[in-house]
């Protein structure tokens, strides 16, 4: 079965728990993270072990990255606009809060 590459939007404790799960999941290839605050993004991504080339600061960056198959919105960003943009780009989107 093909592994999927996923991006988790948000860097809080809830999002971090999902990132850790995805990093260990046998059917997940790459794990990316996205947050608007670059300082918090880098602090959290460093702690979680997410590679620097898999960090994004906007939905636009996430959608421009062809490596990403699905987006998991775990943060409090505007779900409607972000989720809609993700779906319109042909990506899978989920919001778990």
pLDDT tens readout for residues 6-48: 999 988 888 999 999 999 999 999 999 999 899 999 999 999 9
Question: 39-68, pLDDT tens digit by residue?
Answer: 999 999 999 999 999 999 998 899 899 999
CA trace torsion 78, 79, 81, 82 (10° rounding): 100
Sequence ranges of the domains in the chain: 4-95
**Of the candidates 27, 39, 37, 26, the residue with the CA atom closest to the CA atom of residue 3:** 27
**Rounded to whole angstroms, how far apart are CA atoms 58 and 80?**
15
C-beta of residue 13 within 8 angstroms of C-beta of residue 79: no
Domain 4-95 grouped into CATH 3.40.50.720: yes
- From the CB of residue 67, how many other CB atoms can be counted at a distance below 10 Å? 11
| pLDDT for 89 | 62
Q: For residues 70 and 93, which has the higher predicted lDDT (pLDDT)?
A: 70
pTM score: 0.82
**Helices and strands, number each (H, E), in the chain:** 4, 5
CB neighbours (10 Å) of residue 15?
A: 23
């Amino acid at each position: 079965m093909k592994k999927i590459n996923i991006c988790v939007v948000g860097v809080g404790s809830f999002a971090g728990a999902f990132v850790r799960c995805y990093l260990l999941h046998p059917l997940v290839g790459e794990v990316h993270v996205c947050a608007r605050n670059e300082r918090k993004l880098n602090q959290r991504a460093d702690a979680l072990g997410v590679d620097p080339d898999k960090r994004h600061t906007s939905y636009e960056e996430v959608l421009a990255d062809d490596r990403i198959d699905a987006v998991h919105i775990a943060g409090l960003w505007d779900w409607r606009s972000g989720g809609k943009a993700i779906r319109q780009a042909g990506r899978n989107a989920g919001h778990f809060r």
